[in-house]
Structure formats: structure tokens, C-alpha cells
Amino acid sequence: MSKIKPSKGAPYARILGVGGYRPTRVVPNEVILEKIDSSDEWIRSRSGIATRHWASPEETVTAMSVEASGKAIADAGITADQIGAVVVSTVSHFKQTPAVATEIADKVGAGKPAAFDISAGCAGFGYGLTLAKGMIVEGSAEYVLVIGVERLSDLTDLEDRATAFLFGDGAGAVVVGPSDEPHIGPTVWGSEGDKSETIKQTVPWNDFHLGDVSRLPLNERGEVKFPAITQEGQAVFRWAVFEMAKVAQQALDAAGISAADLDVFIPHQANMRIIDSMVKTLKLPEHVTVARDVETTGNTSAASIPLAMERLLATGQAKSGDTALVIGFGAGLVYAATVVTLP
């Protein structure tokens, strides 16, 4: 017989507060068109994106996260020193170590919580939310701060016609805490590593550091390009439209609800065509509010779901207590979907 005492966590967990931060600089498609042969009409028709936000040098991954986190903590009605863990999903913090979560935890005044980064691309918020739920139910933390943050402008090849218009910067955060009722459903998540080449960084950091020109992409002037995100657009589109709708349905089934029971749908803000196709495949009723934040924010990877959630609540398009299906998917290829009650 085990001598270990059982954990004393909460019976369930829920999202208690949400906050977002968008950089002050708004970048219209006209700026993107200065470097690529395309048109505003083409960009809008292919992605639905009209503008995106790009961070200034001062709007670092840490600075944006602290701003979003402060709003989420205030919205949750707790103090920062009550946070027992900080989970940050990002692919654009360029220090291998230490984790940026430790710096963020200190700057928000969280004391000495567990703090770590995860790399799960556009599914990172869902991964972080699932980890937070587990910590609360297990009893290792009472409140968990989950952050999705990206400065993807640093990883954008502005001469790549296929991706130059896609990415934006920003941070979204939620506070997850204890609940007497289930407000975060079972997570349906996974990976398809055989498709990992469809979304990737152009070259590893060590190749770039060594400076072997024969191994590195060059621009038209023969200069070495900084590593950037590239993707096989059609392959990613087909995967997202056909496979992720199945995952979304599995998350509904796992939560024991149907599409008709939903109030809100918050998919990863990758592409308007993908969002509209998923809505059609899932046969969502007209009463379901669909997040389309991608139009003015672009693809912010791990930050996209909490940013979209924050905007829906701030504009009154969604309200506290609504039932929402959230799903993230991207590089890896990885995915995570769950049903939540909005804070």
C-alpha cells in the first residue's frame, strides 16, 4: 500500500479572467505589398487579413506578456501573489534559457511560482490550458497564469509571397483557477509528426550562427536571410479544414454537448477561409458567435485564441458564462481542442 498522501486539489477548474495586448503599430496590407508582388484584394481573398500589429523594439515578448497578464489577473479578481504557476507558449523568445516565464512571473509580482515555457506553435494555448487544469485539479497550484505570446514579425520573410502577409504580434493571457463545476472540458490533442515539414523554420539557429552561406537562404542582393517561418500553404489548408473539423467534433463529443449547445466558436486565427470552412463542416447554427479576429490581428500563433477571446468579451459579442469551443492547430503538426466556459 502506498504511503503517499492523495492530492488535495479542486474538483474542477475554469478560466477566471482574460487579458490581451496588441502592439501599437497597425500594419495594413499596403506595407506588405512594398516587398512582394501581390495585391490587397489577393491577400484579403486568400486569408481575410486586412491589417496586423507589429511590435516595436520596446514591445518585447516579456513586455507584451506582462501587459496582457496584468489585465487577466485583474479580470480574475485575484492578486498576482496568488499565482502558483506561470505557463508561457511561444516560439519567438530567442533565448534558449532561461525560460521567459520566469522573467514574466517576477515582473507581474507573482512571487516564486513554478514557471516554464512550452513550444507547441499555434496549439500552444490549448496545451497550456490543459496543463493548468491538471495542476489545479492535482493540487500543485491554486491559480495558474497561461500566456500565449509571439513576435512573429521577427520570423517573417517579407520577400516570401506565401507568408509575408500572414503573421502578427501580440500577447493573450488567462488565469485558470478552482471551480466546483466542470468549466473546462476534456482536451482532444495530438500531433502528426510525419507532416512536420509543412510548417517550419527555414534554417536551424546553429546553421545561421555558423554563417555557411551554402546552407542558408539568400535575398536578391545575395545577403543571408534571418531564419523565418515557411509553410506549404495548400497542404496546411487541406489538413486544417478536413482534419481539424474532426478534432473539433471530438472535443464536442468529449464534453457531452452538440454544436447546437455552443454559444461561441474560437478557432486559431490562421486564415479566414479555414475558419469559414470549419464552421460549415461543423454545421454550426447561426446563433453561434464565431471569432474572426484574424482580419485585423493576423496570425499570432499561440496568442491568437486568448486575443480573440478577449476581444469578443470586450466588444460584447460574447458574454461571461457562454459555452465556447476553442481549437488551436499548427507547426508540428500539433493540435488541441476543448470546450470551455468563458470568464
Q: 212-221 — which CB contacts under 8 Å span 24+ positions?
A: 217/157, 219/159, 220/159
Catalytic-residue membership of 268: yes
What cell does 315 get? 466588444
Of residues 143, 152, 56, 133, the one with CA closest to residue 108: 143
Residues 6+ apart with CB under 8 A from 284: 259, 262, 265, 290
**Cis bond upstream, residue 28 (ω within 30):** no
Q: Count how many residues are written for the chain.
A: 343
* Count of helices and strands (H, E) across the chain: 11, 14
Catalytic-residue membership of 299: yes
> Which residue in the list 29, 183, 268, 271 is annotated as catalytic?
268
Cβ atoms 81, 23 nearer than 8 A: no
Catalytic-residue membership of 219: no
Of residues 107, 228, 114, 225, the one with CA closest to residue 171: 107
Of residues 253, 262, 270, 283, the one with CA closest to residue 335: 270
> Which residue in the list 29, 53, 122, 271 is annotated as catalytic?
122
**Residues carrying an active site annotation:** 122, 268, 299
